[in-house]
Structure 1
Amino acid sequence: MKVLIIGGVAAGTKAAAKLKRELPGADITIFTREKEISYAGCGLPYLIGGSVEDEAELIVNTPEKFAALTGVAVETGCEAAALDPTAKTISIRRSPDGPAEAVGYDRAVIAVGASPLRPDAAGVELPGVFTLRTPADASAIRGWAEREDIRRAVVVGGGFIGLEVAENLKTRGIQVTLLEASSQLLPGIFDPEMADYLRRHLVKNGFRVITGAKAEAFLGDSRITAVRTGARILPADLAVLSIGIRPNTDFLAGSGIAMEKGAIVVDRRMRTNLPDVYAAGDCALVTNRITGKPQYSPMGSSANLEGRTLARVIAGEEAAYPGVLGTGIVRLPGLNCGRTGLSEAQAVGEGYDVVTALAVTDDKAHYYPGAATFITKLIADRQSHRLLGAQVFGPGSVDKMIDIAATGIAAGMILDDFDGLDLAYAPPFSTAIHPLVQAVYVLLNKLSGAMVSMTPAEYAAGKAQGRRVIDVSRAPAVPGATYVALDKVRGPIDGIGADEPLLLVCTKGRRAYLLQRKLAAFGYTDTVVLEGSTSFCEVKAHAAGTSVPPEEVTRVKGLGFLRDKNTADRFNGRVITRNGKITAGESRAISEAAERFGSGEIAMTSRLTVEIQGVPFDSIEPMREFLMQAGLETGGTGSKVRPVVSCKGTTCQYGLIDTFSLSEEIHERFYHGYSHVKLPHKFKIAVGGCPNNCVKPDLNDLGIIGQRVPEPNLELCRGCKVCQIEAACPIKVAKMADGKIAVDSDACNHCGRCLGKCPFKVFERSTNGYRIYIGGRWGKKVAQGRCLDRVFTDRAEVLDVVEKAILLFREQGITGERFADTVARLGFENVQEQLLSNELLARKQDNISSQKHLVGGATC
């Protein structure tokens, strides 16, 4: 039997290897256009991040090794040009410009995979814009990130691969923006409320997430500098496209093979409609195991199983591939996300009488070190109790939850079958009642009426409107809610009516359920438990005009919202400018935010941040979300590196340096890069373009001032009676002495205004540089900063000094003191010596990881 397999990687090589074992005498040849036939495609994002160190680690088999191990002939660099089912031939082109040669077959396997989609957008071919499909792609992205010292990246597409790429770029210290055209991340994979939780988690971990927007153009001349959407421009040194894939099936046009949207239609035996032609992998459709309908499910796991099944069928076995459940999992910083089966929307679309429950459970014994939680959403049919789907989030072993659920769904188990299931238990691994079984119990309680609850999706849609929020957490946790201590409830609760509509919340939902059972026994008739409670939902119970609890005032202050002292519940939100300027689009977004969420008024702070006035407490999160969509962030408070303040030296007639560029680099590297680092007090940085000191760099903890140091050629001086240099010097330190011009180098402020003023070219040459001041401050106690002895000419060295100053302050500062106090206590010469050496950088990791300054001293 002569078998031609077109394509390798997962399905093609698996089919070839299995078939050769089943039929050792078969003549099997793989034709593939790639140089590698078998690589771990799912590991590509981790090569970018560095978890996989070398591209070679992802190569499962080289063509030579595979051929030697299996006896299958392998020809790389070959592309299929056409399929003739009547003649039973496939036309193969062995080089891009070479002739097509018809190769006959007895059986043919199409496993050509798919290629990444590229948007029809200007600039998509610019250097720095990548797709990800092969190890070479991953190496190219990683090389670009390392070689070009990338600071900002845009990942276009919020599916599994896009999220994995985003996570791995973040591990490299790159600021990542996720851009998804759909209204949510992982569209069609997770239900909207689950996707929203995921979005909130990513934002809290420093990602910028923009949904409902497409990449319309990639900007730049010789390389990418930004991505333009319909509403904004996103600065970017790197863009990775992950907007989907398209089956590589163009060569099958005219063959008569059945396809849907480019994917080959096959039956459960992986047969196409053409005799003796089979298909598997990312170029073929498969069957949904629940609905029985065809679906496109390009996964490496199913591709291997399809290839194995296909080989058994060709070998004459009565094999069939039962189909997929859409099982998938992704790792993100601090959160693993898995799913299997139907989503709620899919189940409704299939006509099921859908019921869901969301449960927050311990993922192992609560007392065991490292214990955390699982957030589990189960989807089932109300009438039959059949489990239809599961979605699970958590920092731990989400895979075991999904695997158990997938097994149950595949076996046709109903919820009741999980009751008493004998699953592995020991404190390091699980809870005595398995977390998935606990989630099943929640859903069964809901079905039986033992628990009356509201889903997070219903709560987000406003179904709790008019209900009084009862907080039954171990300690009060919901501002404005009525707190009830569960262990003290012995009868009806004073002040809460028996017929009053109540929403019961706690941390996870369990205590709320227990309170509901107690209240039912005491005659309360309208209580509803909020599923997931505060662990999952953003619960709001604060009444307008009432005082906000002190702990909440402190919390939102960390987000950049300072309470307006004239009100009980209104705040002024600081919108950060990266370098002292904002775009017109950002300005419009700030104005709209002020009108929608605040008083309509905007103030400018002395630090060049924009402050939106009069934001009600309950509008803080909506406003932050609105601003984030425009690429803006709030913050700039606390004992941390503060947003940089910059003059407009880039465009000012006296400006000597590019202040906008330098300030933005400081913002990304130290405001964002050190956002998790607590300092003894706030640390303010100012960048001035010249010695005019418009933004007072010498009155900040650290200030940088542009310098232009003249290098006069005094041999050319003619001792003019009216010296143009003496006349041009704004601070009068250039003076004629003994018939020659002289400049007091200690008094010169290096403004550069003398340059080019002498007709005899005495003052033509100069050196551009930076003066660094340390230990300044203004406010309650003013301190004049002192400049380091050197004028720095290397911008990278300036940035290193900034980092060393921050590290010195963290390591040697005392909690509550300003950097000026630290410099005075240690001595300027001592501090200068440390800033000019590299010992602080050598101790960086130990310094940052140490538990220091947990409180800090900043009060504003």
Structure 2
Amino acid sequence: MKYIIIGGVAGGASTAARLRRLDERAEILLFEKGEYISYANCGLPYYIGGVISDRERLFVQTPESFASRFGIGVKVLSEVTRIDPERKKVEVKDLKSGEVYEEGFDKLVLSVGAEPIFPPLEGIRTEGIFSLRNVRDTDRIHTYIKEKQVRKAVVVGAGFIGLEMAENLAARGIEVTIVEMADQVMTPVDYEIAVVVHRHLKENGIQLRLKEAVKAFRKTEKGLGVELKGGNLLETDLVLLSIGVRPDTRLAREAGLEVGEAGGIRVNAYLQTSCPDIYAVGDAIEFPHPISGVPALTFLAGPANKQGRICADNMVQGNCKVYEGSVNTAIAKIFELTVGATGLSGRLLNRLNIPYQEVIIHASSHAGYYPGAVPLTIKINFSPTDGRLFGGQVVGYEGADKRLEMLSAVVKAGGDIYALAEMEQAYAPPYSSAKDPVNMAGFVADNILSGLVHPISWRELKKWESQKYTLINVCTPEECELGHIPGSLNIPLDEMRKHLDEIPREKPVVVYCAVGLRGYIASRILMQNGFDVFNLTGGWRTYEAVMEEERGGEEKREIKVEQPLEQQGRIVGLEVDACGLQCPGPVMKLKESIDQLEAGDRMLIKATDPAFRRDVTSWAELTGNPLREIREEKGVITAVIEKGKAVTEERKRGSENAKTLIVFSDDLDKALASFVVANGAVAMGRKVTMFFTFWGLNVIKKERSGKVKKDRMGRMFDWMLPKGSRYLALSKMNMWGMGARMMRKIMKRKGIESLESLILQAREKGVEFIACQMSMDVMGIKKEELMEGVQIGGVANYLEKAEKADMNLFI
């Protein structure tokens, strides 16, 4: 029997090795058009980044060692250019000598892989533009970085390889910008998981250009220019294309083999193509997805290796083993974060019109009371009828891989959420909790299917009209001060039963807490008292993360240490470990501990709750206890706080220099008054904050914002509202706009500054503009329509400023 294998690496090499183990007498030939037949292509980014220093460690087998051990005829730099299924022959071109010859076969295996996508963009073949698919690409990139002393790089595409390359380029001291057409990185995970990765990338110095597309590449005086469709030009030294890959089906098509709807070579359950003597494995094939049944592609090394083994068994022993398909379990290390997915994402389920329910839980990598517990987030998608698990995603600093594999096992077995709840894991405090996060995800899903709680996602809540439901925050008042959804009532969980009569019964109630647990308990209290209740999935933590992303990312607050730490007041050495505690635990621990100190003393606190970075900053400003230092490493946030000296007096003195204005109106005369007061206060050396809400938002609109995508209600508001400050009317005697025009004419004649000039002066003098997020949502106003430099915030953001002010005007 003579076997020919076209292509090496995972699928081809594993098929060849298994064939030899099954049949010692067979003639086996492996043709590879590259120089290498078996290498760790998943390790290529880490060689470029210097994590893998020895290039030779990338090679699993050399052509010589493979041929020697398995007695296989290995032909590298040999390209199969044609397959003749009827004659059972292949045409081969020796790339070294140029010789073309034929080889016959009894059975053939296609392991031709996939090829990088190169869109037809202007300048795409310019020097300095690379893709990463094989060792040759790796060597070219490695050499180019060294010889050209690359300082800036643009990665186009934010899939697994793109993000791994971004990390490894950054590890070499290169400034990296990622350009991605989608609204998130890593499309196999859902948006709620991706935003965690976004924040981590930004914290590690990676610039993200989401919802951006490349228009062209061109040479510039400084190196390379990446022109975006939005009009921006990114100057760089190197471009890595990670747009994606597609199955290499040229040989198969020309040989008359069937190619499926997903674009891959169609195979049956035995990995046979439409020609019975030709099999196919690896990236080039498509196969029905075990959950959806829809033909899908899999670009992963694990499935390719397994396919090679099954394929060899079937060729030698006569179609004895069935390939069950891949649920596409994939994982990546992104700096200190681990993120992975298995099964179907919500995005894909929506595309396939498959109804699903989702659960998001925030937990810790192991028992919270054992040192070193760090945050872990799990999302699962499941059937709303029978609970079948469709997919799962995990992001965290430790233990994410273990949980992903637990989810993958259930998905691949066709299991359900009850299997998650009952899964028995190895438990000890350093490794897990008695109720593992995967168990908890199953418990929450069980509660939903059994009707004990009705969930609502952040997407659904965003669509609801706020006046048609009552929103209740069941956190403590202290937590609410640090952040809450605008428009929500605060009824702490422990006081809920005392306030039932104060909650309207004629409309639905939406409850939320930090992560969802207290919201669930509140739901049970309210449901059993006759209320129609919904609990916000993932709680405030998920809601704030996605809203922050939609507002354009976290507002960065720079914390500057004025003097070396040891010179700033007394150090008493008080260290507090709040790691493993969920919100509000770390802040409560902080408050208890600071009360033990004397003014001027300092304490150090460590926490792993992701919200603590923002909470401790807000808490310090609200309480007057200076935040002297804050840093984060591997999910552990460390903050140094100083006990405020005469806090009340300090805050009072600070308030003498602050004024706040709420601009509610879009009347021209009232807007003028607002900015006259604001500019006057700034001229006296006062700090001024202007909070624009409802109609007041029209005052700070751009004259031209370009096309902005809106829903029907947003377009209606847009049609009815003024387009900016030049279109504002007078509150009295407007006379269909004549009054406003007369007012402006008189002001000009008398040398009085126009509203637009006053606005410009206020911005130049440092007046802080805050636009109310809730009002923007209600009126369908987008961030792109507002002037540059306007912050998007909520009531808590404004109240933090008002707390320090001695004057607050409502106009």
**Alpha-carbon distance in structure 2 between the residues aligned to 1:519 and 1:161:** 47
Structure 1 residue 226 corresponds to structure 2 residue 231: no
- In the alignment, is the contact (CA less than 8 A) between 1:492 and 1:519 conserved in 2? no
Q: CA deviation at 1:535?
A: 1.9
**Given the alignment, which residue of 522, 538, 551 partners 1:515?**
522
Q: Could you tell me which residue of structure 1 aligns to residue 316 of structure 2?
A: 315
- In the alignment, is the contact (CA less than 8 A) between 1:218 and 1:224 conserved in 2? no
Q: CA deviation at 1:501?
A: 4.1
SS in 2 for 1:53: coil
* Letter of the 1:453 counterpart: P
- Residues 600 and 497 of structure 1: is their aligned pair in 2 closer, same or farther, counting only changes over 3 Å? farther
* Letter of the 1:43 counterpart: G
SS in 2 for 1:295: strand
Q: CA deviation at 1:351?
A: 5.4
Structure 1 spans left out of the alignment, 5+ residues? 543-547, 574-585, 636-860
- In the alignment, is the contact (CA less than 8 A) between 1:509 and 1:532 conserved in 2? yes
- In the alignment, is the contact (CA less than 8 A) between 2:421 and 2:440 conserved in 1? no
Q: Could you tell me which residue of structure 1 aligns to residue 267 of structure 2?
A: 266
Q: Could you tell me which residue of structure 2 aligns to residue 454 of structure 1?
A: 456
* Letter of the 1:567 counterpart: L
Q: Which has the higher helix share?
A: 2
Q: Could you tell me which residue of structure 1 aligns to residue 179 of structure 2?
A: 179
TM-score by length of 2: 0.68
* Letter of the 1:227 counterpart: V
- Residues 170 and 628 of structure 1: is their aligned pair in 2 closer, same or farther, counting only changes over 3 Å? farther
**Alpha-carbon distance in structure 2 between the residues aligned to 1:95 and 1:433:** 59
**Alpha-carbon distance in structure 2 between the residues aligned to 1:428 and 1:366:** 9
* Letter of the 1:478 counterpart: G
Deviations 1:732-756 (A, max 9, x none): xxxxxxxxxxxxxxxxxxxxxxxxx
* Letter of the 1:26 counterpart: A
- Residues 626 and 399 of structure 1: is their aligned pair in 2 closer, same or farther, counting only changes over 3 Å? farther
1:1-40 to structure 2, matched below 5 A, reads 1-40=1-40
Structure 1 residue 325 corresponds to structure 2 residue 324: no
Structure 1 residue 63 corresponds to structure 2 residue 63: yes
Q: CA deviation at 1:209?
A: 2.1
Q: Could you tell me which residue of structure 1 aligns to residue 211 of structure 2?
A: 212
Identity %: 30
**Alpha-carbon distance in structure 1 between the residues aligned to 2:658 and 2:99:** 77
CA RMSD of aligned residues (A): 4.1
Structure 1 residue 297 corresponds to structure 2 residue 280: no
Q: Could you tell me which residue of structure 2 aligns to residue 770 of structure 1?
A: none
1:200-599 to structure 2, matched below 5 A, reads 200-221=199-220, 224-231=223-230, 232-260=232-260, 263-316=264-317, 318-348=320-350, 350=352, 352-462=354-464, 466-473=468-475, 475-476=478-479, 477-479=482-484, 481-492=488-499, 495-499=502-506, 501-521=508-528, 523=529, 525-538=531-544, 551=618, 565-567=659-661
* Letter of the 1:616 counterpart: A
Q: Could you tell me which residue of structure 2 aligns to residue 757 of structure 1?
A: none
Q: CA deviation at 1:445?
A: 0.7
**Alpha-carbon distance in structure 1 between the residues aligned to 2:199 and 2:461:** 17
Q: Could you tell me which residue of structure 1 aligns to residue 151 of structure 2?
A: 151
* Letter of the 1:170 counterpart: A
* Letter of the 1:284 counterpart: I
- Residues 240 and 208 of structure 1: is their aligned pair in 2 closer, same or farther, counting only changes over 3 Å? same
- Residues 601 and 352 of structure 1: is their aligned pair in 2 closer, same or farther, counting only changes over 3 Å? farther
**Alpha-carbon distance in structure 2 between the residues aligned to 1:262 and 1:487:** 57
Q: CA deviation at 1:152?
A: 2.5
**Alpha-carbon distance in structure 1 between the residues aligned to 2:761 and 2:147:** 38
Deviations 1:586-642 (A, max 9, x none): 998899999899998898899x99979623253899999968999x9999xxxxxxx
**Alpha-carbon distance in structure 2 between the residues aligned to 1:587 and 1:95:** 62
**Alpha-carbon distance in structure 2 between the residues aligned to 1:572 and 1:591:** 27
- In the alignment, is the contact (CA less than 8 A) between 1:363 and 1:396 conserved in 2? yes
* Letter of the 1:534 counterpart: W
Q: Could you tell me which residue of structure 1 aligns to residue 744 of structure 2?
A: none
**Alpha-carbon distance in structure 2 between the residues aligned to 1:464 and 1:88:** 70
Q: CA deviation at 1:518?
A: 2.7
- Residues 53 and 513 of structure 1: is their aligned pair in 2 closer, same or farther, counting only changes over 3 Å? same
**Alpha-carbon distance in structure 2 between the residues aligned to 1:305 and 1:139:** 29
Deviations 1:341-360 (A, max 9, x none): 12234335555442222222
Deviations 1:116-165 (A, max 9, x none): 12221222222221110113323433443344343332111121211221
- Residues 209 and 465 of structure 1: is their aligned pair in 2 closer, same or farther, counting only changes over 3 Å? farther
**Alpha-carbon distance in structure 1 between the residues aligned to 2:251 and 2:494:** 71
- In the alignment, is the contact (CA less than 8 A) between 2:769 and 2:790 conserved in 1? no
* Letter of the 1:57 counterpart: R
Rg larger for: 1
Deviations 1:631-685 (A, max 9, x none): x9999xxxxxxxxxxxxxxxxxxxxxxxxxxxxxxxxxxxxxxxxxxxxxxxxxx
SS in 1 for 2:498: coil
- Residues 228 and 384 of structure 1: is their aligned pair in 2 closer, same or farther, counting only changes over 3 Å? same
SS in 2 for 1:269: coil
* Letter of the 2:373 counterpart: A
- Residues 633 and 50 of structure 1: is their aligned pair in 2 closer, same or farther, counting only changes over 3 Å? farther
Q: Could you tell me which residue of structure 1 aligns to residue 604 of structure 2?
A: none
- Residues 602 and 271 of structure 1: is their aligned pair in 2 closer, same or farther, counting only changes over 3 Å? farther
Structure 1 residue 615 corresponds to structure 2 residue 682: no
Deviations 1:16-50 (A, max 9, x none): 00110011111111110111111111111222222
- Residues 276 and 464 of structure 1: is their aligned pair in 2 closer, same or farther, counting only changes over 3 Å? farther
**Alpha-carbon distance in structure 1 between the residues aligned to 2:104 and 2:786:** 56
Q: Could you tell me which residue of structure 2 aligns to residue 837 of structure 1?
A: none
- Residues 596 and 341 of structure 1: is their aligned pair in 2 closer, same or farther, counting only changes over 3 Å? farther
Task: Point out the more displaced range, 12-21 or 358-367.
Answer: 358-367
**Alpha-carbon distance in structure 1 between the residues aligned to 2:783 and 2:100:** 56
SS in 1 for 2:444: helix
- Residues 539 and 400 of structure 1: is their aligned pair in 2 closer, same or farther, counting only changes over 3 Å? closer
Deviations 1:325-364 (A, max 9, x none): 1211122234322111122343355554422222222231
Q: CA deviation at 1:244?
A: 1.2
**Alpha-carbon distance in structure 2 between the residues aligned to 1:205 and 1:264:** 40
**Alpha-carbon distance in structure 2 between the residues aligned to 1:449 and 1:253:** 52
* Letter of the 1:505 counterpart: Y
- In the alignment, is the contact (CA less than 8 A) between 1:81 and 1:100 conserved in 2? no
SS in 2 for 1:5: strand
- Residues 610 and 142 of structure 1: is their aligned pair in 2 closer, same or farther, counting only changes over 3 Å? farther
**Alpha-carbon distance in structure 1 between the residues aligned to 2:725 and 2:198:** 21
- Residues 602 and 284 of structure 1: is their aligned pair in 2 closer, same or farther, counting only changes over 3 Å? farther
SS in 1 for 2:376: strand
Q: CA deviation at 1:111?
A: 0.7
- In the alignment, is the contact (CA less than 8 A) between 1:469 and 1:541 conserved in 2? no
- Residues 289 and 505 of structure 1: is their aligned pair in 2 closer, same or farther, counting only changes over 3 Å? same
1:597-636 to structure 2, matched below 5 A, reads 614-618=769-773
**Alpha-carbon distance in structure 2 between the residues aligned to 1:505 and 1:446:** 16
**Alpha-carbon distance in structure 2 between the residues aligned to 1:465 and 1:129:** 53
Deviations 1:671-719 (A, max 9, x none): xxxxxxxxxxxxxxxxxxxxxxxxxxxxxxxxxxxxxxxxxxxxxxxxx
SS in 1 for 2:69: helix
Q: CA deviation at 1:307?
A: 0.9
Task: Point out the more displaced range, 394-403 or 432-441.
Answer: 394-403
SS in 2 for 1:228: strand
**Alpha-carbon distance in structure 2 between the residues aligned to 1:621 and 1:225:** 39
**Alpha-carbon distance in structure 2 between the residues aligned to 1:118 and 1:246:** 10
**Alpha-carbon distance in structure 2 between the residues aligned to 1:202 and 1:289:** 33
